[in-house]
Structure 1
Amino acid sequence: MKTSLLLLSYSKEITDGLKKMIEQMQTSNDVSIYSLGGTVDNEIGSDPTKVVDAVNEAGQEDWFLVFADIGSAILNAEMAQDMLEEDQQERYYLVEAPLVEGAFAAAITASTTSDVQQVLSEAQNAGKKEWS
């Protein structure tokens, strides 16, 4: 199954940069990355319709891993889920992980396995640093 990573932030520059970094470090055709930062007018903020449009643009068999950074980006990711068709909602995962580390780990893992639970686990553990 194909994976779509949906990156949400108040800033389009943040999600554009993250998308570029991930694409340079993984080359799987089974992972698509959507930069959904900012509003539809490319201002600071977020917009659930950008998420819905990305889901509708993606393949019918994709599962969607949603990474958001703060505040309304998280709320808009949740709102977008409510706006989707039921079959899309079943493949839509709000990932509780840091935006950068989680999305990177998910992309790398999804390029090697189709086990969504393994991808989610790697993403959720990616931000844990054990410095001492």
Structure 2
Amino acid sequence: MQKNILLMSHSKQITNGLKEMIDQMNQSAEVSVHSLGGTSDGELGSDPMPIIEVVNDAPEDAIFLVFADLGSAVMSSDLAKDMLEEEQQKRYHLVDAPLVEGAFAAAITASITDDVNQMITEAKNSGKKGWD
């Protein structure tokens, strides 16, 4: 099963750096990380269309875990879900977790399991540092 981690941010530099970090730590061929930050003209902002393209180009059984940083990146991710076919929406998960820690934890977990709920749980728990 192909597992896709979609990184949404206002900044392409942020998502490119995060993708590079995850790719270096995760060598699973079943996990693909997609840097979808910024706008199509290289400016700060967000755009739902790159998400739609990734989903449409993926195998029919692929799953998508979407991580976003701020306001309009979250809104673009949510809008993209609304623009997908119903069957695609079932495999598209907006994960309410920190962008860096959540995406990293989800990708590493996805490399060892096909359990989407476990991937999401690990992502959501990733921001807890345990500092007192």
TM-score normalised by L of structure 1: 0.98
Aligned counterpart, 1:122: 122
Structure 1 residue ranges (4+ consecutive) displaced by more than 3 angstroms after TM superposition: none
Q: Give the letter for the 1:96 counterpart.
A: D
Aligned counterpart, 1:89: 89
Structure 1 segments unaligned to the other structure (5+ residues) = none
Which digits, 9 at most, give the CA deviation of each residue in 1:10-57, with x for residues without a partner? 000000000000000010001011100001111100000111111112
Q: Give the letter for the 2:60 counterpart.
A: Q
Percent of counterpart pairs with the same letter? 60
**CA–CA distance in 2 between the matches of 1:31 and 1:101?**
16
Aligned counterpart, 1:65: 65
Structure 2 segments unaligned to the other structure (5+ residues) = none
Correspondences of 1:29-108 after superposition (within 5 Å): 29-108=29-108
Q: Give the letter for the 2:100 counterpart.
A: V
Q: Give the letter for the 2:90 counterpart.
A: E
Q: Give the letter for the 1:127 counterpart.
A: G
Aligned counterpart, 1:27: 27
Which digits, 9 at most, give the CA deviation of each residue in 1:59-84, with x for residues without a partner? 22110000000010000000000000
**CA–CA distance in 1 between the matches of 2:10 and 2:54?**
17
Total equivalences in the alignment: 132
